[in-house]
Amino acid sequence: MPLPQIDPADVRIEPGWKAHLQTEFSKPYFAGIKQFLADEKARGKVVFPPGPLIFNAFDQTPFEKVKVVILGQDPYHGPGQAMGLCFSVPREIPVPASLKNIFKEINRDLGLPIPRHGDLTSWTTQGIFLLNAILTVEKNQAGSHSKIGWHLFTDAVIKTLSDHRNGLIFLLWGNYARSKKPLIDPQRHTILEAAHPSPLARDAFKGCCHFSKTNSILSNQGETPINWSLDE
């Protein structure tokens, strides 16, 4: 059975992103993603994040406002965790281990207090684009949507940012994020690499100083540094 055609106008996403990604929304793989998710819903499967939050990273950080890109892999798969922003969880959800390590490095690097919650929305409003390479996941099934086509879409997102913006800072943490490096033009952008903040990487993320380095680069470019502390 042929895949249904998707009218790009039907995709609800921040207008600047929509303008740059129109061709992706028209491609067969994107129709395949939409069909897969509809079929999963019909079978009673629970998918995270909720539909209105799948493109939350794009809606929170408009295309022309992006200054920093942090790349995650796929959403948290526990109830209530995923909110469409990589590494971020709602305020009422316990802070996951990887995010705890991010906070510890911010504390070590900049001396800021460790937040009591894990909602990173205040970062997104300052120009930090919190992109997961895979935008959905089945409840309690980590990586379950890794092969449905999302990687094609988010690779195009990274390439579009690289081609149509200048002076962005890409923070690539861990081997998966580093595998996206060929999509980024190093002549136009800064790429900072480090181990993943997961406890599985032991303390390899510690000492990367990506937060002070990012602010130094932004300042040198005449841009406002990031306030890495969170609203309490």
Query: Which residues, 6+ apart, have CB-to-CB distance to 45 below 8 Å?
Result: 138, 139
Whole-number Å distance between alpha carbons of 23 and 25: 5
Nearest residue to 123 (alpha-carbon basis) of 133, 112, 134: 112
Whole-number Å distance between alpha carbons of 60 and 163: 21
- The DSSP secondary structure of 17-68, one letter per residue, reads HHHHHHHHHTSHHHHHHHHHHHHHHHTT--EES-GGGTTHHHHHS-GGG--E
184: left (phi > 0), else alpha (psi -120 to 50), else beta?
beta
Task: Tell the residue number behind the tokens 């200048």, with chain if given.
Answer: 166
Catalytic residue among 59, 74, 155, 163: 74
Task: Say which DSSP state 186 is in.
Answer: T
Q: Quick check: is 155 catalytic? A: no
Exposure string over 9-34, b if 16+ CB within 10 A, otherwise e: eebebbeebbebbeebbebebbbbbb
**β-bridge partners, 132:** 72
**Helices (H), ranges, the chain:** 15-25, 28-42, 56-60, 97-110, 121-124, 150-164, 174-178, 210-220
Catalytic residues: 74
